[in-house]
A and B are shown apart, each in its own frame.
Chain A
Amino acid sequence: MSVSAVRRESAARSMLDFYATTIRTQIQTQFQYRVSLYMYTVGMVAEPVIYLVVWTTIARSQGGMVDGLTPGALAAYYIVWTLVRTMNIVFTPFGWEWRIREGELSGQLLRPLHPIHYDLASFAGQKVPWIVLYLPIGAALSLVFHPTLHPHALQVAVFLVAIWGAYVIRSLNQFSLGMVTFWTTRVGAIFQVWFLAELLLSGRLLPLPLMPHWSQTLANWLPFKYTFYFPIEALVGNMSTASLLGGLGMQLLWIGVGTAVMTGMWRLAVRRYSAVGN
């Protein structure tokens, strides 16, 4: 075949094909390292279990409740937290230095596809085995901590959409954050500030209603809440239909903002990329 006569698939169909192929490839890769996969999943459970034990102890010492949250509600929050956390793990900004130094970025820049698609597709693929492993862990945690969880159909539906919304928001934000590496090489301190803000204002450390009022107000104006608290609360809380759909709308808004910031930064970052020796 001549190089001038190469046929191409249509753009939309091939994008779906790319996502499906990458997801398949990542699932296969994850199964190459089964022991590390088990250990990783078990490690993931440690953080919420610590939070859960602490808050349950506090609730019991205060007569069975913390700010209206029962041990059962706290158990539901942190068990669902574990699944949401598993879902919103994305390529870390700390990895960008490696990505540039090892030449991986050069390889991605040579492809006729924005690298964000590879990140989105590959981490989505990695989640499949993680979720399969989460299911028995979630069941075991439920047996031990007795969560209060009675979601109705709309809550389940919103939750299933919201965990992917959270994943996309976090992917876009951390992709943009990682690109700071193009401007300064020692970016660890900047990332730490970002992650501290996320820890406190997302509902990751504790449910937002347990936070001071001013920080709850602040959280409403930032994307973090929509990557942890909103998906969890959609399933375990008592949100109205309007609040559920409004939350999805806010996720969509933050996806739009994240896409705009990421696209703008990418254009500038690529121009700065000097790639000496990579």
Chain B
Amino acid sequence: MLPGVPGVVHVSHLTKIFRVPERESGMSAALRSLFKRQWRDVHAVEDISFEIEAGEVVGFLGPNGAGKTTTLKMLSGLLYPTSGEGLVLGHVPSRREREYLRRMTLVMGNRNQLQWDLPALDSFELNRAIYRLPRDDFRRTRDELIELLDVGDLVRKPVRQLSLGERMKVEVVGSLLHLPAVLFLDEPTIGLDVTMQRRLRSFVAEYNRRHGATVLLTSHYMADVEALCKRVIVIHHGRILFDGRLDALADSFSTTKTIEAVLADGERITLRVPKAETSQATARLLAEHDVTDLTVEDPPIEDVIEQVFAAEVSA
């Protein structure tokens, strides 16, 4: 990135506070709320900043309610930030300029934007008209995406007759027909079986490779993140806890290492030891046992993330 030139996604001190009504349960509280309503500020996103460069695929991790979806909605123009600045492809998303909306997409794993009663091909036609795509370009892109996701048979069935996973795949095709330069993917593999998840992952990777698109992805499945993202941003309680390479996440947050050894008699030993004692423990293991194979690894990324959130909760 050139000095002073923001990346494709530029987020600076972005904050979103929701004001929500609240009251105790019961009739008297209900009556009181008729006259005096009580409000509470929910700090969904607090003062977050990051940059994403063109072509990067970044994982956006956090537990439920961490602020991931709120951030994606602000970046896609669905929500106005309370304060701070978001800039995507040089556009302020909350202005919802048409030129911006034509160059991005937000895919939400639990949402259906296709015509329920018609084959997805008809919804694709509608998207062609909405995004003002020339017919020949549209057909080429559509066929390419259909082939990449192997949904040739599915797009001819009424959407209501598709399974969740099938619907998600055709939903993704519909969301990418206008060849967006920026993809916000919010839990795109939620509820899908392992095969479908893998297919969707390789599709996102291929789309990124072919079109050089920038991707910000949230997922609770670490397999998605490990397969697609070199960089992750970890958010919790609306604040960024970590922004860096995925493989550095364990270095930063993991306090343990996992040692796996296979002994001469075939027995397998798995030890989790404090990071600082890894070399001592390994040496002792080798000295005291007849070891035929030995690996020292960071704990699974799920465990690291769990530790990060647990530490934050107990802090």
Residues of A within 8 A of B (CB): 1-4, 6-11, 14, 17-18, 20-22, 25, 28-29, 32-33, 103, 106-107, 109-113, 270-271, 273-277
Partner of A273, one of B78, B99, B125, B158: B78
Question: How near does chain A come to B102, taking the closest CB pair, in angstroms?
Answer: 5
Determine if A29 and B117 form an interchain contact, defined as CB atoms under 8 angstroms apart: yes
Among residues of A, the one whose C-beta sits closest to the C-beta of B122 is A25
Question: How near does chain B come to A235, taking the closest CB pair, in angstroms?
Answer: 34
Determine if B134 and A28 form an interchain contact, defined as CB atoms under 8 angstroms apart: no
Residues of B within 8 A of A (CB): 18, 69-70, 73, 76-80, 96, 98-99, 101-103, 105-106, 108, 111, 113, 115, 117-118, 122-123, 125-126, 128-134, 137, 140-141, 158, 178-181, 211-213
Determine if A28 and B122 form an interchain contact, defined as CB atoms under 8 angstroms apart: yes
Determine if B133 and A276 form an interchain contact, defined as CB atoms under 8 angstroms apart: no
Determine if A29 and B106 form an interchain contact, defined as CB atoms under 8 angstroms apart: no
Determine if A106 and B78 form an interchain contact, defined as CB atoms under 8 angstroms apart: yes
* Chain A residues whose CB sits within 8 angstroms of the CB of B77 once the complex forms: 109-110
Determine if B101 and A111 form an interchain contact, defined as CB atoms under 8 angstroms apart: yes
Among residues of A, the one whose C-beta sits closest to the C-beta of B181 is A3
Cα–Cα, bound, A276→B179 (Å): 27
Report 19 cross-chain contacts, Cβ distance below 8 Å, ordered by A residue.
Answer: A1-B211, A2-B211, A3-B181, A3-B211, A3-B212, A3-B213, A4-B212, A8-B132, A8-B134, A17-B129, A18-B129, A21-B126, A22-B129, A25-B123, A29-B118, A33-B117, A110-B101, A113-B98, A277-B69
Determine if B98 and A1 form an interchain contact, defined as CB atoms under 8 angstroms apart: no
Q: Knowing that A2-B212, A112-B130 touch, tell me 14 more A-B residue pairs with CB under 8 angstroms.
A: A1-B211, A8-B133, A11-B132, A14-B129, A17-B129, A18-B126, A18-B129, A21-B128, A32-B118, A33-B117, A106-B108, A111-B130, A112-B101, A276-B18
Cα–Cα, bound, A32→B179 (Å): 31
Determine if A274 and B129 form an interchain contact, defined as CB atoms under 8 angstroms apart: no
Among residues of A, the one whose C-beta sits closest to the C-beta of B141 is A1
* Chain A residues whose CB sits within 8 angstroms of the CB of B101 once the complex forms: 110-112
Determine if B76 and A110 form an interchain contact, defined as CB atoms under 8 angstroms apart: yes
Among residues of A, the one whose C-beta sits closest to the C-beta of B100 is A112
Partner of A275, one of B73, B105, B113: B73
Determine if B122 and A3 form an interchain contact, defined as CB atoms under 8 angstroms apart: no
Determine if A29 and B73 form an interchain contact, defined as CB atoms under 8 angstroms apart: no
Cα–Cα, bound, A28→B158 (Å): 11
7 A-B pairs with the lowest CB-CB distances in the bound complex, closest first: A112-B98, A14-B132, A112-B101, A18-B129, A3-B181, A21-B129, A107-B113
Question: How near does chain A come to B138, taking the closest CB pair, in angstroms?
Answer: 10
* Chain A residues whose CB sits within 8 angstroms of the CB of B125 once the complex forms: 21, 25
Cα–Cα, bound, A232→B141 (Å): 48
Determine if A8 and B141 form an interchain contact, defined as CB atoms under 8 angstroms apart: no
* Chain B residues whose CB sits within 8 angstroms of the CB of A33 once the complex forms: 117
Determine if A110 and B102 form an interchain contact, defined as CB atoms under 8 angstroms apart: no
Determine if B96 and A109 form an interchain contact, defined as CB atoms under 8 angstroms apart: yes
Partner of B134, one of A9, A18, A107, A113: A9
Determine if B130 and A110 form an interchain contact, defined as CB atoms under 8 angstroms apart: no
* Chain B residues whose CB sits within 8 angstroms of the CB of A274 once the complex forms: 18, 79
* Chain B residues whose CB sits within 8 angstroms of the CB of A7 once the complex forms: 133-134, 137
* Chain B residues whose CB sits within 8 angstroms of the CB of A112 once the complex forms: 98-99, 101-102, 130-131
Question: How near does chain A come to B24, taking the closest CB pair, in angstroms?
Answer: 20
* Chain A residues whose CB sits within 8 angstroms of the CB of B212 once the complex forms: 2-4
Cα–Cα, bound, A20→B106 (Å): 26
Cα–Cα, bound, A194→B130 (Å): 33
Cα–Cα, bound, A271→B79 (Å): 8
Question: How near does chain A come to B270, taking the closest CB pair, in angstroms?
Answer: 40
Given contacts A3-B181, A107-B113, A109-B78, contact A22 B126 (CB under 8 A): yes
Among A10, A17, A29, A274, residue most surrounded by chain B Cβ atoms (within 10 Å): A274
Question: How near does chain B come to A6, taking the closest CB pair, in angstroms?
Answer: 5
Among residues of B, the one whose C-beta sits closest to the C-beta of A107 is B113
Partner of B111, one of A8, A22, A103: A103
Determine if A103 and B108 form an interchain contact, defined as CB atoms under 8 angstroms apart: yes
Cα–Cα, bound, A273→B140 (Å): 36
* Chain A residues whose CB sits within 8 angstroms of the CB of B118 once the complex forms: 25, 28-29, 32
* Chain B residues whose CB sits within 8 angstroms of the CB of A270 once the complex forms: 96
Cα–Cα, bound, A271→B82 (Å): 11
Question: How near does chain A come to B196, taking the closest CB pair, in angstroms?
Answer: 22
Among residues of B, the one whose C-beta sits closest to the C-beta of A277 is B69
Cα–Cα, bound, A1→B180 (Å): 11
Cα–Cα, bound, A276→B137 (Å): 36
